[in-house]
Chains A and B, each alone.
Chain A
Amino acid sequence: MSPMQAPISRPTSPPEPGIIGQPFPIQMAEEKTPAPAEAAKLSATNLVFHYGSFRALHGISMQVFDKRVTAFIGPSGCGKSTFLRTLNRMNETIRSSRVEGEILLDGEDIFKLEVSALRRRVGMVFQRPNPFPKSIFDNIAYGPRINGTVSRSGMKDHVEQSLRRAALWDEVKDKLYESASGLSGGQQQRLCIARALAVNPEVLLLDEPCSALDPIATAKIEDLIFQLKDSCTIVIVTHNMQQAARVADYTGFFLMGKLIEFDNTTVIFKNPSRKETEDYITGRFG
């Protein structure tokens, strides 16, 4: 540090709660709807989730807006992935888990829907690419075949359309019948997105989709997210705050199972209203 720094005078005040080592009372985001003109695609009310006796979510209430990208950020173990997986009931596969509260998809209670019907409408892509040990073509055709939503004669066009939507067609059009495992990590992840898109979901849940990808592959996925939001509502969990800032229209900050703040992404990253959010995104804790 230069000698010129010494004269900087600062008001001396006791450390505020939230600074490293200083506990703060966690207060949840109030029922805050930043843009009332937006239509809610998903609406959670007082959602509580338990893993056995551990309460992972403490009464989350929020809306995911239609044809918008919503990002969830927060430190590890804050509940953001748990909340994401609750949106298409993926958590129900975990033994001893328990969920309370309400999630509405276009006004319908998702817990009253048939689970496979729900997951057709709310697709999911995971952190690590997980292509089936099949050809590229069969990976995409798998869902439509099971659901019987696409005729055999129309399948080729449907696979092409899905791969085009995932910005992968040009790279794989000459090797559709080769194994998907021969693709690069970034291509595999876009294949997984294409596979999710093949059943025409209304909502796409992305759980840290770029954490295993290099910057070029990440940029392709982010471009894809921009294109997809015209036709799909997207919810993304990410540890990369710059990624949330780049792709999301809305951002929610989770901490210790609570939704601390939810607002327009520019507000969250430029001038958050909650100190806990400010401390997290500026790297002062978490």
Chain B
Amino acid sequence: MRHFEQELEELKGKLLEMSAQVEASVQRSVSAVTQKDRSAAEQVFRDEARVNQLQIEIDEFAINLLATQQPLAADLRLVVAALKINTDLERMGDLSVHIAQCGLSLLTEPVIKPMVDIRHMSALVESMVRKSMDAFLANDADMARSVLASDDAVDSLRTASYHELVSFMEKEPRNIPQALDLIGITRSLERIADHSTNIAEGVLFLVKGIDVRHHAEARQ
């Protein structure tokens, strides 16, 4: 294997490490909410520094590859996709921190509603995160497209949850602080799904050389 190919593998390896860290943080942040698990929330806060550090390392590594190797074609698309995926993963890490913070504020209060929809939504979101990165590592365009297809389901769950929580607030003003936390959690989960969608779009650019963002594919 040429030295440059080894470096591209190393870039993918670093992204894999970062995605594993982010996936774990998303899962732990959801546990902090649904299981009232304080230690899971604290672990998310501790891991954030590593995610931030990896973002800087990956950016620097990819920029060095652009500067020194001047990659073309599939190699160019890989480095460009890696830079974008890196940003999306770091944002997912930030959102999991936000979910964990909401989880801490919910720890001592009795819940105003069952967490069924958040569990359901988080299972879907975690699956999107995992599949988007699996698609990246396996250069699998079909898997990437399946991630794009899941985004609407997450949006629907979030909208339904929002309306339900608004009705809770209307009925009882004491519910407002907790309902706002829960709205924040579903909003963060929905944003994590959006970042997974971005990653899947990056995979389609990497594998097929096509731009499907903002329905660009349909316009062409």
Contact = CB atoms under 8 A, between A and B. Distances in A.
Q: Do A and B bind each other?
A: yes
B16 interface: yes
Interface residues of A, number: 22
Contact of B73 (A5, A11, A242, A271): A271
Interface in B7-36: 9-10, 12-14, 16-17
Contacts of B73: 269-272, 277-278, 281-282
A282 B71 contact: yes
Interface string A240-281: 011001000000000000000000000001111000011001
A278 B74 contact: yes
B209 A4 contact: no
A22 interface: no
A4 B9 contact: no
Nearest to A5: B13
Contact of B209 (A5, A241, A270, A282): A270
A1 B9 contact: yes
Contacts of B77: 270-271
If over half of A's interface residues share one DSSP class (helix, strand or loop), that class is named, otherwise mixed; here it is: loop
Contact of A4 (B16, B70, B75, B76): B16
B6 A1 contact: yes
Contacts of A277: 73
Q: What are the nearest 8 A-B pairs in CB distance?
A: A271-B209, A5-B13, A4-B17, A4-B13, A281-B72, A278-B73, A282-B75, A269-B72
Given A8-B12, A241-B72, 19 more contacts: A4-B14, A4-B16, A5-B9, A7-B16, A11-B138, A242-B70, A245-B72, A269-B72, A269-B73, A270-B73, A270-B77, A270-B209, A271-B77, A272-B73, A281-B72, A282-B72, A282-B73, A282-B75, A283-B4
Interface of B: 2, 4, 6, 9-10, 12-14, 16-17, 70-77, 137-138, 209
Interface of A: 1-2, 4-5, 7-11, 241-242, 245, 269-272, 277-278, 281-284
